[in-house]
Amino acid sequence: MAETRQSGDGVRCVIVTPEATVLDARCRSVILPLFDGQRGVGRGHAPFVGRLGAGAVLITGDEGRGQEAAHDTFVEGGFVEVGHDTVTVITQRAVPTDRLDAAKARADLEALGGTKAVGDEAIAARLAAQNVARAVVRTAGRR
């Protein structure tokens, strides 16, 4: 279920998947996991469109509560559009980081390391799956 807060002067962050709007909140800043590194966005940021990698979208300064708060959501690729004080994340998978299981993520990564891939497409798919699994381990390990 999406969370919605519309008060304050910060940045509106919306995270959507094909199934639902995962988050709709006003905040002070958003840190995005782009495919080539992280990028922070705050009020008045220049517009851009970027490709997301696997990692946590870090949302800080929840202005709807008048206190410092954070919503961390793990995303697995997708795109981000930054417009006039709005950040829209479009992704296939979005999971609150407190729901990630670090032990399962490590087991999944270890299992991927033991699989054999033959052919360019299979190798690319295995490498992509390993990158996602590493990102889940990193994100789950931060909590």
Number of domains, the chain: 2
- Given pLDDT bands bounded at 50, 70 and 90, which one contains residue 34? very high
Q: Which phi and psi (to 5°) does residue 134 adopt?
A: -65, -40
Which pLDDT does position 108 carry in this prediction? 84
pLDDT tens per residue, range 86-106? 999 999 999 998 888 888 888
User: Do 53 and 32 belong together in one domain?
Assistant: yes
Of 4-18, 60-74, 126-140, the range with the highest mean pLDDT is 126-140
Domain of 107?
A: 100-141
Whether residue 82 lies inside any domain: the answer is yes
User: Do 27 and 82 belong together in one domain?
Assistant: yes
User: Do 50 and 110 belong together in one domain?
Assistant: no
Whether residue 23 lies inside any domain: the answer is yes
Percent of the chain with pLDDT over 70: 88
User: Do 23 and 79 belong together in one domain?
Assistant: yes
CB of 98 within 8 A of CB of 87? no
